[in-house]
Structure 1
Amino acid sequence: MNILELTFVASVLTATTPVVLAALGGLLCSVSGVFNMALEGQMLWGAFTAVSFSHLTGSAWWGVAGGVAATALYSAVLSVLAVTFRADPVVIAVGMNLLALGLTAFLMRQILGVGGTYTSPDLHGLPTLAGMGLDHVPVIGPVLGSQSPLVPAAFVLVAATAWWLRRTRSGLRLRGIGQHPEAAESLGLKVGAYRHGAVLAAGALCGLAGAQLALGNVTLFSEGMSAGRGWVAVVAVMLGGVRPLRVLSACLLFGVAEALGFRLQGAGLPQQLADAAPYVITLLALILAGAAGRRRRTPLETA
């Protein structure tokens, strides 16, 4: 494998990481029985707050911590309204996405003093793994050297979540609550508490996704910079169901499409087509998965 191919793999990982972190949060909500469509707004809020905390503290890691905490707090809106008051989570999620878009644009001018895009030499981004000694390691160096530590951490989190859901008592209880909440409640499980925990954890993961997007992939904040990645994460959850590895595969499909779009743009493809390619491919995958699901159900329904 030559360096060009390794660089392409690195681009795929860069594009995939924010999406897979947000999708992992959506998966936890889905497992618990709460459909979370607010991933787009939560990721955008996480990106903004991570940049804001990095700007105010002068530390990228404080930026990450602030983004995670602020987004978990932001997700409490969905948690309280959907879990405690049993409001429609879809309606709440749409409102949260719109709120994040407007609120970040407003606060950007108040906190960062600019509109549109904020970038500054004083804004600290996340360190790369090359600076930790990986740049001279064969194969691993070209793939991970330019990445932030959050990139491998994201894939570790996917594996850990898969293990937790299948091998631990709390993970099995969360799955049971999502599948049969009445039965779980009759056994004495606190359904609301588990669902609150899942929604808040999803918010923290979206905050981590936003921090990676704004301080890892680039070092800036731009209005609406999540650019549909949260919606792609929602689609990944719909494609992967409650299986983390399937969700990861769906996110990798988006990452490959985005990296390929950049390559084709460099080869002369119009920018608009290159930018649209990942979303078109993700939408086609959702359509094909839906069609396959209908074909599997048809024999049972006609029997």
Structure 2
Amino acid sequence: MDFISAFMVNSTVQAITPILLAALAGCLCGRVGVFNIAMEGQLLIGAFCAVAGSHYTGSAALGVAAALVGTVVFSLILAYGATVFRGDAVVICIGMNLLAAGLTAYLLRQLFGVSGVFSDPNIAELAKIRISSIQSIPWLGWIVSRQTVLTYLCWALTAIVAYVLFRTPVGLRMRGVGEDPEAAQSMGVDVRRYRVVTVLVAGALTGLGGAQLSLGTVGIFSEGMSAGRGWIAVVAVMLGRDNPLLAALACVLFGIADALSVKLQSQGLPNQLTDIVPYVVTLAALVVSYRRKRDRRPASAEAAAA
């Protein structure tokens, strides 16, 4: 059995994209002290808005724009709920996830008269970029030359987010807001504004992930199609400790697991079994991370005592 193939690697890169974009959003929110676990709902809103925009306009680019606008508007709930109204971010995010699931299902029936899955020839999918100079090269052509623009963009955004966070004054202020908001406020930093703007920017990133999920992969919308990817992104953020580069490495692991589940299903295994592969890998990563942290604690305690 040709288990590892160029097609599987291509699928892995595609699977990483929405998770990585959501993880970048989580890293940004974490750096300003907002614990964002609403990425599941934000991905779903982005996917729905992308399909709706593409269907009504016939343009994939306008579909992506609709995903950006829709997810940013949806993110206002967290941006103002957790800052201006000082609500509990975790409670707000759980409510947003539930709202996204119910709202997209309701709008699917109201706008398109269907339930479950919406598929239509008028939906313009994101084109795969084919680079003629490397397209014929085995493996490399499949990996690099057959991706959407959002896949290339997500890796560029990873570098940009890391640079902004760790190499610019804006990033320094963002980290200060998250680590000690009172000290940042005393230095003249508008903590509330930084948090609101960051959450909205994070919403835009997750909207791009939702657009990739619906227009870049399958060209349809189905209820609950985020399928836990937002929660996997939350785990990637936790494993990466709000560092976008480390979170990206975690996303690669989860993307491989996602593509592996699809490969196993194509080999005849029941989907009830293959669908759990990404979540098993996620739980295993959390267990390993926890054990490593626990093993370090005695050494650090002894060093502190000395």
TM superposition score category, shorter chain reference:
over 0.9
Query: Is 1:19–1:209's contact at 8 Å kept on the other side of the alignment?
Result: yes
Alignment of 1:209-228 (within 5 A): 209-228=209-228
Residues 42-81 of structure 1: pairs in structure 2 closer than 5 A:
42-81=42-81
2:167 paired with 1:167: yes
Identity %: 50
In structure 1, what is the equivalent of residue 83 of structure 2?
83
What letter corresponds to residue 239 of structure 1 in structure 2?
L
Gaps of at least 5 residues in structure 1 are: none
Q: Give the match for residue 121 of structure 1.
A: 121
Secondary structure of 1:84's counterpart equals coil
| 8 A contact 1:54–1:62 mirrored in 2 | yes
Report if the CA contact (8 A) 2:26-2:242 is conserved: no
Alpha carbons 1:3, 1:142 under 8 Å: kept: no
Whether contact under 8 Å (1:134, 1:140) holds in the other structure is: no
Tell me, yes or no, if structure 1 residue 197 matches structure 2 residue 226: no
Partner of 1:83: helix, strand, or coil? coil
> Could you state the TM-score of these two structures normalised by the residue count of structure 2?
0.94
Q: Partner amino acid for 2:135?
A: H
217-226 or 2-11: which moved more? 2-11
Deviations 1:218-253, CA, capped at 9 Å, x for gaps: 100000000100000011101101211110011111
Q: Which residue of 1 aligns with 2:151?
A: 151
- Tell me how far 1:265 sits from its aligned partner: 2.2
1:1-303 superposed matches below 5 A: 5-130=5-130, 133=132, 136-138=135-137, 139-301=139-301, 303=305
Q: Is the 8 A contact 1:240 1:246 kept in 2?
A: yes
Shift of 1:7: 2.1
Question: What's the TM-score, normalizing by structure 1?
Answer: 0.95
Q: Deviations over 1:71-129 (max 9, x none)?
A: 01100100111011111000000000000000000001111221110011121100111
Q: Which moved more, 1:21-30 or 1:281-290?
A: 281-290
Q: CA RMSD in A?
A: 1.7
What whole-Å deviation, never above 9, does each CA across 1:249-285 have from its counterpart, x for those lacking one?
1111111111112222223322211111011111110
CA distance in 1, matches of 2:3, 2:115: 39
Q: Please tell me whether the aligned partners of residues 23 and 236 of structure 1 are also in contact (alpha carbons under 8 angstroms).
A: yes
Aligned length: 301
Shift of 1:210: 0.3
Alpha-carbon separation, structure 2, partners of 1:251 and 1:112: 34
